[in-house]
Amino acid sequence: MTHTTAANDVYLQIGEAAERTGLTQRTLRYYEEKGLLKRPTRMEGGFRLYSPEDIQRIEAIKQLKELLGFSLADIKEMMDAEDIRLQIRAQWRKDADAAEKAAKIRKAREVTLHQTALLDQKMEQMAAMRNELAQRLENYDRWLREHAADAPASSTKS
């Protein structure tokens, strides 16, 4: 409330955007530089203004990177596919060439299919891993239960 620019607007300057997404300003500029983010709208003087959609996109990127460990190059591919998707939705009525639309959609479908396959593979492996860990945990717990009273003279607390 002190002197924050456009306090009631939903558009965020880079500082606020960084804070909200948990990234740094440098990172946001870097993503933009690498084509992961489109150039956001600017104020008169050139200050970046991030729309809510921009913020969403940033958080999507963050997830893909931190959660799934994809490289920025990988993510760019995905985002490009996503862009095509949105582009399709935008041009839904304007462009009348149905054949071309079908081609685009098939392309998008293919990419999406590939992504789901990758995801499925990862999830499968993770599930297997999780089972191993769970089993391990059970073993620990069982041992601790069985030997709960065996300790000779250790302090009983903690």
Residues in contact with DNA by CB under 7 A are: 3, 5-6, 13-16, 24-27, 29-30, 34, 42-48, 65, 71-73
d(CA 50, CA 42) in angstroms, rounded, equals 8
Smallest gap from residue 82 Cβ to DNA (A)? 18
Nearest to 60 by CA among 26, 31, 25, 30: 31
Tokens found for residue 16: 């606020």
Residue 129 DSSP SS3: helix
- Does position 38 interact with a copy of itself (CB under 8 A)? The reply is no
Whichever of 8 and 155 has its CB closer to DNA, that residue is 8
Q: Are 19 and 8 in contact (CB under 8 A)?
A: no
- In the shown chain, the binding pattern of residues 85 to 114 toward a copy of itself, with x for contact by CB under 8 A and - for none, equals x------------xx-xx--xx-xx--xx-
The radius of gyration computed from the CA coordinates of the chain, to the nearest angstrom, equals 25
Q: How far is CA 117 from CA 19, 79, 104, 152, in A?
A: 34, 17, 20, 54
Smallest gap from residue 93 Cβ to a copy of itself (A)? 14
Tell me which of 10, 43, 86, 137 binds a copy of itself, using CB under 8 A. 137
- Does position 80 interact with a copy of itself (CB under 8 A)? The reply is no
Tell me which of 93, 94, 147, 157 binds a copy of itself, using CB under 8 A. 147
